[in-house]
Amino acid sequence: MDQTQIDTLRGKPVAAFHHLIDGKAVPASDGDTMNVVSPIDGQVLTTVAAGTAEDMNAAIASARAAFEDRRWAGQAPAARKKVLLKWADLIEANALELTVLGVRDNGTEIGMALKAEPGSAAATIRYYAEALDKIYGEIAPTPGDILGMIHKEPVGVVGAIIPWNFPLMIGAWKLGPALAMGNSVVLKPSETASLSLLRMAELALEAGLPPGVLNVVTGEGRVVGETLGLSMDVDVLVFTGSGATGRRLMEYAARSNMKRVYLELGGKSPNIVFADAPNLDEAAKVTAAGIFRNSGQVCVAGSRLLVEAPIHDEFVAAVTKAADAMRVGDPLKVETQIGAVNSETQLQANLGFVETAVSEGGQIVTGGARILQDTGGYYMAPTIVTGVTQKATLAQKEVFGPVLGVTPFATEKEAVALANSTVYGLAGAAWTANLGRAHRMVKSVRTGVMHINTYGGADGTVPLGGVGQSGNGSDKSLHAIDKYVNLKTAWIKL
């Protein structure tokens, strides 16, 4: 990365963004806008349209019309592939622009953002483009003069609600398989991270995606998100975000057309370190990165550190050393390792969790406070709290910030019990040199993803999904396609 290029892009004014409906930039129906406040310095960066129910209904109607006239679904797989591959190429060609725009919007450190955002998005779109003409129907082993055939058809209109932490990456996880299978999509970005998704959608049109196939409506969830969820013309709803919002979306589906709803709702992921871990120094560095990168704003973040009692003090000291060495600051500086918290609201929520942890008997080892206030931005020191009991708030509630709770354990059985003691089940890790124990941990810890002697970094060939209140369905891999197809049986007498 070239710091000069980054600084040049940082200095460019950002024009106001409108909705993208039926291939055109459309202002809110009432002309209202929302300020985009950069977490880097707390200053207004630009505005986006403050969507209305009328705006969202117009986008849904556009997506429905595009699906019904088959301007996209009716194209040959090779033609859809060509468009999606060109889109991926354009994302890569504009990667730095997209990254800087996104960082100014949500505060992720640029070293992580460049790879995790446009880099990941382009790879995801390309993956599903290459897969789409290799998805076949089936012929059933039916008897006699009956032929049973199973067709895979697009579901129709997909509503996708995207969070603020990695909008391009998570957006592509939804858009890639949905569009590859011929669906139309209405996308609702987060109120605090819309810009890069809007720009990526513009590139889709440039690549040749027909108007109406991908629509983007910005605005408050209680207005445009609710309208999307209650629509009788949306067939599938996909969402990444909080459990409270996920529950509302399920209620909306029940109150409307019983649309399918797939949810990824975060977690409280256990990172379990045994005394026989092969390299405690490496484990400490990876542990620190696994919770503090992107200011802890990662759904699979290893926010619960469970340490075997004999090495507890030694390992906590090593993680603290690694955390204190990580550079917090301006996310558009290439040397920064931890950027800004997404918003003032999120920062205050993080600090509230720390206060609660202390009131419940926890001890702050490092961090615990807001820093760099003179910048006007939203920054928090990496925070480690020891003495966190199983029932403590910090052990049970997702912070979504740079706060690590530490709990000791005595036996493998106790480690598993602690790991499984929350309502979540998204990710986890175990550090051990014992191969048998490693396999037992994979089998015993109730998660959708389990790491052994590492944390994070899996690519798009494997699914990401949770159990319990971490949600249902999977993003990534070929398994994600299942959410965006209907199975139709043809029963033919020969």
Return the residue matching tokens 């390792």: 337
Q: Which domain CATH number covers 124?
A: 3.40.605.10
Amino acid 231: pLDDT: 98
Q: What is the DSSP string of 135-193?
A: ---EEE---TTEEEEEEEEE-SEEEEE--SSSHHHHHHHHHHHHHHTT-EEEEE-BTTB
45: in domain: yes
Q: How far is CA 34 from CA 86, 117, 388, in A?
A: 32, 24, 40
Q: Are 406 and 304 part of one and the same domain?
A: yes
pLDDT over threshold 90, residue 169: yes
Q: Are 77 and 135 part of one and the same domain?
A: yes
pLDDT over threshold 80, residue 457: no
Q: Are 219 and 352 part of one and the same domain?
A: no
Mean pLDDT within 287-293 = 98
Amino acid 198: pLDDT: 98
Mean pLDDT within 208-236 = 98
- CA–CA gap between residue 236 and residue 264 (Å, rounded): 14
Q: Is 427 helix (H, G, I), strand (E, B) or coil?
A: strand
pLDDT over threshold 90, residue 481: yes
| Contact criterion met (CB below 8 Å) for 442 and 416 | no
212: in domain: yes
pLDDT over threshold 90, residue 409: yes
402: in domain: yes
379: in domain: yes
Q: How confident is the model at residue 325 (pLDDT cuts 50, 70, 90)?
A: very high
Q: Are 359 and 373 part of one and the same domain?
A: yes
Q: How confident is the model at residue 458 (pLDDT cuts 50, 70, 90)?
A: confident
Name the H helices within 271-360: 280-292, 312-325, 344-359
Q: Are 226 and 310 part of one and the same domain?
A: no
Q: How confident is the model at residue 263 (pLDDT cuts 50, 70, 90)?
A: very high
Q: Are 282 and 183 part of one and the same domain?
A: no
Q: Are 118 and 47 part of one and the same domain?
A: yes
81: in domain: yes
Which of 100, 96, 101, 105 shows the shortest CA–CA distance to 44? 105
Q: Are 182 and 274 part of one and the same domain?
A: no
pLDDT in tens, 64-106: 999 999 999 999 999 999 999 999 999 999 999 999 999 999 9
465: in domain: no
* Exposed/middle/buried for residue 148 (C-beta within 10 Å: 0-12, 13-18, 19+): middle
Q: Tell me, what amino acid is at 389?
A: T
Mean pLDDT within 161-179 = 98
Q: Are 111 and 260 part of one and the same domain?
A: yes
Instruction: Provide the residue count of the chain.
Output: 494
Candidate list 117, 191, 264, 412, residue with the active-site label: 264
Dihedral of CA 370/315/108/167: which sign? Answer: negative
Amino acid 407: pLDDT: 98
464: in domain: no
414 part of the active site: no
The total domain count for the chain is 2
Q: Are 252 and 285 part of one and the same domain?
A: no
Q: How confident is the model at residue 1 (pLDDT cuts 50, 70, 90)?
A: confident
Q: Which domain CATH number covers 452?
A: 3.40.309.10
Q: Are 328 and 247 part of one and the same domain?
A: no
Longest dimension (CA), the chain: 79
Domain with 447 in it: 270-459
Amino acid 456: pLDDT: 87
Q: Are 91 and 149 part of one and the same domain?
A: yes
Q: How confident is the model at residue 374 (pLDDT cuts 50, 70, 90)?
A: very high
466: in domain: no
